[in-house]
Amino acid sequence: MTWAGEADSERVQVFGELLAECHRDLFGFIYSMVQHHSDAEDVYQQVALVLWRKFDEFELGTNFAAWATKVAHLTARDFIRTRRRHAVAFSDEVLEAIAATYNPGKAWRSDDTSDALSVCLKKLPPKDRALVEQCYSPGRDYNQIAEQQGRTIGAIYQAISRVRKSLYHCVKRTLAQEAF
């Protein structure tokens, strides 16, 4: 379907709904490629702009998430090639493998994993839970959090890394217990 003659407000609404439906999966896919939250946010914004600019080319009724993922793959790959700001970056072969195994029709976290994560988040000490909430709040970055807490950005990265590792092991244990 082309959008010629369609009201702009309807076009904006349809685009917003489609993007919102796949936001979590798309962001997770981007993060899996760039490995840094702030970089993933930057790439996600670039992807959203490209998707909007090319929305006239999208055929309604086809898989928006698959189309968005393809755009995200190309955008993230270009981002990594041109802005290798971090010491560790995936090779092109690894990026291609990630893209090839990603299934936009399947959530990047299953319901069981999501439930286990919720349980594990509740088990965190209040200070760690607050840090997670701050780090994953829209529009926040580590620099702001470090400044607010009077800590260095390195200390924030270390703290969130420690909490992520703790959550990972907790989720893994919880899922293993549920399997029996």
CATH, domain 111-179, list 3.90.550.10, 1.10.287.3510, 3.30.1360.120, 1.10.10.10: 1.10.10.10
Predicted TM-score (pTM) of the model is 0.49
Residues 6 or more apart whose Cβ sits within 8 Å of residue 171: 113, 116, 117, 120
Predicted confidence at residue 50, as pLDDT, reads: 95
Which residues of the chain, if any, have pLDDT below 70? 1-7, 83-111, 178-180
8-101 placed in CATH 1.10.1740.10: yes
**Alpha carbon distance 140, 38 (integer Å):** 9
What residues does each domain of the chain span? 8-101, 111-179
pLDDT for 93 equals 66
Distance (Å, whole) CA 161 – CA 142: 12
Report the pLDDT value the prediction gives residue 167, as an integer from 0 to 100: 86
What is the reported pLDDT for 1? Answer: 46
